[in-house]
Structure 1
Amino acid sequence: MVTLGKRLERKRKKEKTRESDRVREIKRKRERKKTREREREKERASERGREKESETERQSAKVRDHERERERERAGKRARGRESERERERERARESKREQERARERERARARARESKSKSEKEREKESEIKSERERERKRESEKKSERERTRGKERKRETMR
């Protein structure tokens, strides 16, 4: 009976320690969770601070950019008079280049037309040569025929003379 009691006692002790271990573990988890949440909150706060800083920085940068832009416009108005003259000069140069290019292109087109014309003339010459050759051939054939006819006529006359 004593042994049974001791066993039960040991069992209960073990259960208690297990229970307290479990409770301790739960507490640790909660604490970790809380510390993580605090860290996140700190991070968010510092991020908000940075955002505010960056926003003010952006605003001041906008102001500076605006000032620079105004200054650029003023300088541009001064330089525009000089620049416009230079630009007109450049435009004249570009236009003359374009005109030269157009003239070259027209000359090339004329040369191509001459080339194509000469080709077509060559083709016409070949065709006319072929036609004249055929005509000569026909004449030869007709001459041969007429020669045959004459010789036959002569032979017939001879036959009839005999």
Structure 2
Amino acid sequence: GQPCHTLCHVESPPKITLREKKREKKKEKKKKKKKKKKKKKKEKKKKKEKKKRKKKKKKKKKKKKKKKKKRKNKKEKKKEKKKEKKKKKEKKKEKKKKKEKKKKKEKKKEKKEEKKKKRKKTRKKKKEIIIIIIITTV
């Protein structure tokens, strides 16, 4: 029976000791744990990215809103400026009109004065003529 024994020994699988079995189990557990951890990490990363994206979107929206508000404000300011300009123009026009009126009044007054002076002068002349006539007749 010697050849049979060697043959059997070659054919049978290597014996695994209890200690090795435990070690294998531990390894497997560790592997599983690592995988789980990796998965968790990935999930966390994904969540973070999602949050980031959301935040970015929100920020963009806020920015857009701000821009819109700014634009609106700008428009309003422009309108206000235009109004102010118009008002100023009107005031200027009014001032000019008043000035013109005053000038006209002054001119009228001057004319009146001239007329008065002229009338006085002619009256004086008339008086002189009358006096001369009276003297010559006497």
TM over 0.5, shorter chain: yes
Pairing 1:1-162 to 2, within 5 Å after superposition: 79-162=21-104
What letter matches 2:52 in structure 1?
Answer: R
> 1:104: how far off?
1.4
What letter matches 1:131 in structure 2?
Answer: N
With structure 1 as the length reference, what TM-score do the two structures score?
A: 0.50
> 1:145: how far off?
0.6
Superposition CA RMSD, Å: 1.8
What letter matches 2:59 in structure 1?
Answer: K
> 1:84: how far off?
2.1
Gaps of 5+ in 1: 1-75
> 1:79: how far off?
4.8
Instruction: State the alpha-carbon separation in 2 of the partners of residues 84 and 147 from structure 1.
Output: 92
Q: Please state which structure has a larger fraction of its residues in helix.
A: 1
Instruction: State the alpha-carbon separation in 1 of the partners of residues 44 and 20 from structure 2.
Output: 37
> 1:90: how far off?
0.6
Aligned length: 87
Gaps of 5+ in 2: 1-17, 105-138
